[in-house]
Amino acid sequence: MSKHQTNDPLHGVTLEQIINSLVGHYGWDALGKRVNINCFKSDPSIKSCLKFLRKTPWAREKVECLYVATQKSVWVKQ
C-alpha cells in the first residue's frame, strides 16, 4: 500500500489547533494587530474565534496564511 503525501501545510490541522498555536506564539494583543479581526481584539476567546472564522471565509484565510507563515519561520529557526 502506498502512502499519499499531501503538500498542503494545513492538512490534518484543525482550526482550533491553528488558533491555539497563534495565540500561544503571539498572544491575543499581537494577534489582533497582525490580523485586524474583532474576535481577536474585543473580549477574545477560542470559542468566539472559532464561531466567527467558520462563518467568514476571508477572515479564516488570513488566519490560515499567518499560521503557515509562522510555522515556516519556526521550522527555519530549528
The verdict on residue 56 lying in a domain is: yes
pLDDT at 5: 62
Q: Over the stretch 12-49, which tens digit does the pLDDT of each residue have?
A: 999 999 999 999 999 999 999 999 999 999 999 999 99
Q: In this prediction, what percent of the chain has a pLDDT beyond 90?
A: 76
DSSP string, 56-78: -HHHHHHHHHHHHHHHHHHHHH-
Number of structural domains (the chain) is: 1
Q: Please say whether the beta carbons of 25 and 70 come within 8 A.
A: yes
The verdict on residue 4 lying in a domain is: no
pTM of the model: 0.84
Q: Pinpoint the alpha helices (H) of the chain.
A: 15-34, 38-41, 46-55, 57-77
The CATH number that applies at residue 28 is: 1.10.720.30
Q: Which of 42, 50, 51, 55 is nearest to 17 (CA)?
A: 50
Residue numbers of the domain that contains 19 = 15-77
